[in-house]
A and B are shown apart, each in its own frame.
Chain A
Amino acid sequence: MASKQPENSLLSPESDSQRTLYPYVTGTSVVALKYKDGILMAADMGGSYGSTLRYKSVERMKPIGKHSLLGASGEISDFQEILRYLDELILYDNMWDDGNSLGPKEVHNYLTRVMYNRRNKFNPLWNSLVLGGVKNGQKYLGTVSMIGVNFEDNHVATGFGNHLARPILRQEWHENLSFEDGVRLLEKCMRVLLYRDRSAVNKLQIAKITEDGVTISQPYSLKTYWEFSAFENPAQGAIGSW
């Protein structure tokens, strides 16, 4: 115990093993949008271990209570920790047994507080979260990052989804999308991510939440096409390429 700093200070070497410094098993993008009856959310089922696509059946979207759906990218173990926090939150909410229940807005704000407070202690939960839901006819879609940045919008995404999916959504999203159009739009985004994000795997789920509840689809794969002529012999015209 040669260290001069008290053990419970988070900045001494001994306590470094107590806080998150880098993520280990991570999930990639989550994409979500509001449609006519509620929220549609998509995420693939990959858990990467650095550059290895190690786990291929990770469920990154989970229902929360009666009214919300949570999708997460980033460290999978931290996502599991968040699910435990929310489980306890919903449990206490149910124990009141009084006809009131926490809606997606309340859950989103609770998560924001948790993420921001952890960030302030230099011990973040290494996730970007997407929280969607419907309560009393009101649709809600928001996101929180590991540093506590939070906002609501008609369509949100995490990670690479922000760069590849959001531009597509900005062009093609409109109010009152039908379920089929919404799924088609999400699949378009996920296909682009599959082509261009190296941590994406071709096994995804689409979840929907409406006033009636949550449905998470069975895992399925997207059709891909690799025979584009531009991809054949791509180095042909390149000078000085290796």
Chain B
Amino acid sequence: MFRNQYDTDVTTWSPAGRLFQVEYAMEAVKQGSAAIGLRSKTHVVLGCVNKANSELSSHQKKIFKVDDHIGVAIAGLTADGRVLSRYMRNECINYSFTYESPLPVGRLVVQLADKAQVCTQRSWKRPYGVGLLVAGLDESGAHLYYNCPSGNYFEYQAFAIGSRSQAAKTYLERRFENFTDSSRDDLVKDAIMAIRETLQGETLKSSICTIAVVGAGEPFHVLDQGTVQQIIDTFETAAEQEDPATEPDAATGQEAAAEQGTAADHGGSTDEGAAPMDI
């Protein structure tokens, strides 16, 4: 990303047809701590890495319950994320009150995307600096969406955003075909393992990650630390035994993924030709 004369205003196009302020907003998402999401036919799991400013402070809240059937994980400017969560909660509760029925996830996501788009077309506003992974259940099944600061949204089987999310994406790419029929517990395990990938060597503890689940008959809720630690313990012990075997795999896996990564990525910093929101 280079500083240039077309990036002062969100309402200024560059000669190459890009809105740099929007792209810079998406950079802010990439700098935030990682958040991941994955879904099966009946459940959706969100996970995030909790960063704290210092040992003395508490962790930032990055996962928000929006309604019994919808939850969201954010990466980027958490203040923006909080404000958007409040908007989503409001929309859900108003719909529930009028129709006594849960708001379909797809509709909430479109409303959110339209709200983000407004900020890309007003000279007195700035784009929201937060990416949202929206997980929810409705009549048509389990859904996972990613909402960009650009106002685009996409539906995913599994996705990761934030810093070092490429490692998690690689992990998920290898396994996503099995997710549809995964059991709820396997899905949670996969989520925790994807989080572990983003930590790149740091020990995985329940105090630095948060996991939330929503599913058929299971309202959205954050799993408590004890439960998460138990799940971590089950595969940390298994991993110790496998360690010598997996290490060479992990190394080659990362290299192949890095190549895949630049092609599949939104293309912001590495690919100068395509603008991120064109994809």
Chain B nearest CB from A106 CB (Å) reads 4
Q: Is A22 an interface residue when CB atoms closer than 8 A count as contact?
A: no
Q: Is B272 an interface residue when CB atoms closer than 8 A count as contact?
A: no
Cβ A102 vs Cβ B99 within 8 A: yes
In the bound assembly, the distance between CA atoms of A103 and B100 in angstroms comes to: 11
Cβ B139 vs Cβ A136 within 8 A: yes
In the bound assembly, the distance between CA atoms of A136 and B104 in angstroms comes to: 16
Contact with B along A92-114 (1 / 0, CB 8 A): 00001011101101100110010
Chain A nearest CB from B115 CB (Å) reads 16
Q: Is B106 an interface residue when CB atoms closer than 8 A count as contact?
A: yes
Cβ A100 vs Cβ B106 within 8 A: yes
Contact with A along B78-116 (1 / 0, CB 8 A): 000000000000000000011111001011001000000
Cβ B140 vs Cβ A106 within 8 A: no
Residue in B100, B110, B138 with the greatest tally of chain A CB atoms within 10 Å? B100
Cβ B99 vs Cβ A100 within 8 A: no
Which residue of chain B lies nearest to A136 when distances are taken between CB atoms in the complex? B139
Taking a contact as CB atoms closer than 8 A, the residue among A98, A100, A109, A136 that contacts B98 in the complex is: A109
Which residue of chain A lies nearest to B96 when distances are taken between CB atoms in the complex? A109
Which residue of chain B lies nearest to A107 when distances are taken between CB atoms in the complex? B99
Cβ A100 vs Cβ B101 within 8 A: no
Cβ B107 vs Cβ A100 within 8 A: yes
Which residue of chain A lies nearest to B138 when distances are taken between CB atoms in the complex? A100
In the bound assembly, the distance between CA atoms of A110 and B101 in angstroms comes to: 11
In the bound assembly, the distance between CA atoms of A100 and B104 in angstroms comes to: 7
Assuming the contacts A98-B107, A100-B106, A100-B107, asked whether A105 and B100 have C-beta atoms less than 8 A apart, the reply is yes
Assuming the contacts A98-B104, A98-B106, A100-B104, asked whether A110 and B98 have C-beta atoms less than 8 A apart, the reply is yes
Which residue of chain B lies nearest to A135 when distances are taken between CB atoms in the complex? B139
Return chain B residues, CB-CB under 8 Å to A96: 106-107, 110
Interface residues of A in 62-118 (CB under 8 A from B): 96, 98-100, 102-103, 105-106, 109-110, 113
In the bound assembly, the distance between CA atoms of A96 and B106 in angstroms comes to: 9
In the bound assembly, the distance between CA atoms of A74 and B178 in angstroms comes to: 58
Chain B nearest CB from A188 CB (Å) reads 33
Cβ B104 vs Cβ A109 within 8 A: no
In the bound assembly, the distance between CA atoms of A125 and B137 in angstroms comes to: 36
Cβ B100 vs Cβ A100 within 8 A: no
In the bound assembly, the distance between CA atoms of A106 and B95 in angstroms comes to: 10
Cβ A105 vs Cβ B101 within 8 A: yes
Return chain A residues, CB-CB under 8 Å to B104: 98, 100
Return chain A residues, CB-CB under 8 Å to B106: 96, 98-100
Assuming the contacts A96-B107, A98-B106, A100-B106, asked whether A109 and B139 have C-beta atoms less than 8 A apart, the reply is no
Chain A nearest CB from B66 CB (Å) reads 17
In the bound assembly, the distance between CA atoms of A99 and B104 in angstroms comes to: 10
Return chain B residues, CB-CB under 8 Å to A106: 99-101
Return chain A residues, CB-CB under 8 Å to B97: 113
Contact with B along A176-206 (1 / 0, CB 8 A): 0000000000000000000000000000000
Assuming the contacts A98-B106, A136-B139, asked whether A103 and B98 have C-beta atoms less than 8 A apart, the reply is no
Chain B nearest CB from A204 CB (Å) reads 32
Interface residues of A in 135-153 (CB under 8 A from B): 136
Taking a contact as CB atoms closer than 8 A, the residue among B101, B107, B138, B140 that contacts A109 in the complex is: B101
Return chain B residues, CB-CB under 8 Å to A113: 97-98
Chain A nearest CB from B85 CB (Å) reads 22
Cβ A103 vs Cβ B107 within 8 A: no
Return chain A residues, CB-CB under 8 Å to B110: 96, 98
Chain A nearest CB from B106 CB (Å) reads 5
Return chain A residues, CB-CB under 8 Å to B98: 109-110, 113
Provide 6 A-B residue pairs closer than 8 Å at the C-beta atoms, listed in order of the A residue: A98-B104, A98-B110, A109-B98, A109-B99, A109-B101, A113-B97
For the A-B complex with A98-B106, A100-B104, A106-B99 known, give 4 more contacts whose Cβ atoms are closer than 8 Å: A98-B107, A100-B140, A103-B101, A106-B101
Chain A residues with CB under 8 Å of chain B are 96, 98-100, 102-103, 105-106, 109-110, 113, 136
Cβ-closest 3 pairs across A and B: A106-B99, A100-B104, A109-B100
